[in-house]
Amino acid sequence: MILSENRRALKTCKRVVVKIGSALLTNDGRGLYAEGLDAWVSQLAALRASGREVVLVSSGAVAEGMTRLGWRERPDNLHKLQAAAAVGQMGLVHAYETRFRTHGLQTAQILLGHDDISARDRYLNARSTLLTLLDLGVVPVVNENDTVVTDEIRFGDNDTLAALVANLIDADTLVILTDQRGLFEEDPRSNPNAKLISEASVEDRSLDVMVGGAAGLLGRGGMLTKLRAARLASRSGANTVIVGGREDRVLDRIFEAEDLGTLLLSKEPPITARKKWLAGQLQLRGSVQIDDGAVRVLRQQGRSLLPVGVVAVTGQFSRGDLVKCVDGQGNEVARGLVNYCADDARRLAGKSSGKIVELLGFVGEPELIHRDNLVVSG
């Protein structure tokens, strides 16, 4: 079989988010699926060993809690769901920690809520923590913070959460492991001869009529939510693979570029998409004047803006706000998400990053604006 260039590109991707659904993790409600967990963790460990950074978004807390509590049907009551999540999360975390440890890998539990993504300062905190864990070689295990979230502000399903995590860390690939082989042109449950879609643009609107909206008994997401998640992930440039998690060596085979599941393609690579998003933001909260040396570094070398290059700070802004960088004549040089509030930025202006602790009593980041959160103007 001749592989497409897009499939071959999976061999070289560097940062991956993998989401495992409830039906897979609990073997359709029969408790945590030990054999499946062994296989998936082994493959995730192999991805790490190959030099890739991996984040796992895991469903299954509610489903595992239901099993432990002896419930056969998913409750509608929010507080019962939260209780089930609290009970199930204990088993889920233990299962992952013990298995990853056999491969010499540390794990970290990350519970995210809607505010952690929508609030700019918490967004940057979550992003920085996840990127630091990846730098340390740790495998973050992410789930929604089900025990405290309310229906009004929940993500709704872990497909959406996985896509938002892909946005958060600029992943180049999102893999959604599900109980179906991928996206089909028709519902394979009613038509056994339905054709599997191997590859498509995530923006192809004909896909909408091909997927059904029904969610499973144990989870909240059907194929429609997976398609929506793929479109959400594509905003930051990530491609998405939707694939059957029960396929033998599923993750190994995907990243060996085998034609497995459905590959949904983003229009642009992650950095390009992120820079376009930053460039299109109109609500500037302030500005920082930078010296000629900083202007050269930003324009010619594409590096981060350090406090030492800042001459003056204008406006009142918070950590995570969008600010513009201007030269001595007031011309916009760049814009980006700032790591410090306006008052702290004023204290740091013209100072080396090594003095941040002395001046503020803490170090958030050594950069005032990191290069990944900065786009050069014009």
Neighbours of 194 (CB within 10 A): 15
| Higher local confidence (pLDDT), 4 or 168 | 168
Q: What are phi and psi of 201, to 5 degrees?
A: -70, 140
What mean pLDDT do residues 163-182 have? 92
- What interhelical angle do 34-49 and 78-101 show, nearest 10? 60
Q: What are phi and psi of 159, to 5 degrees?
A: -65, -45
Picking from 288, 289, 294, the residue whose alpha carbon sits closest to that of residue 342 is 288
Predicted pLDDT at 156: 58
Q: Which domains does the chain have, with CATH numbers?
A: 5-274 (3.40.1160.10), 281-376 (2.30.130.10)
Half-sphere exposure (Cβ direction) of 282: Cα atoms closer than 13 Å:
0
* Model pLDDT for residues 177-201, shown as the tens digit of each residue: 998 899 988 877 778 888 999 999 9
Strands, E assignment, the chain: 15-20, 53-58, 107-112, 139-144, 173-178, 199-201, 239-244, 262-265, 286-290, 310-314, 322-326, 332-337, 374-376
* Model pLDDT for residues 6-19, shown as the tens digit of each residue: 999 999 999 999 99
* Model pLDDT for residues 208-239, shown as the tens digit of each residue: 877 754 444 433 347 888 999 999 899 888 99
pLDDT reading at 30 higher than 80: no
Query: Cα dist. 202→30, 153, 207, 272 in Å?
Result: 34, 26, 8, 17
pLDDT reading at 139 higher than 70: yes
What mean pLDDT do residues 136-154 have? 75
Q: Report d(CA 147, CA 10) in Å as an integer.
A: 36
Predicted pLDDT at 210: 77
Give the distance from CA 329 to its chain's centroid. Answer: 39
Predicted pLDDT at 152: 42
Neighbours of 29 (CB within 10 A): 18
What mean pLDDT do residues 339-351 have? 95
Predicted pLDDT at 340: 94
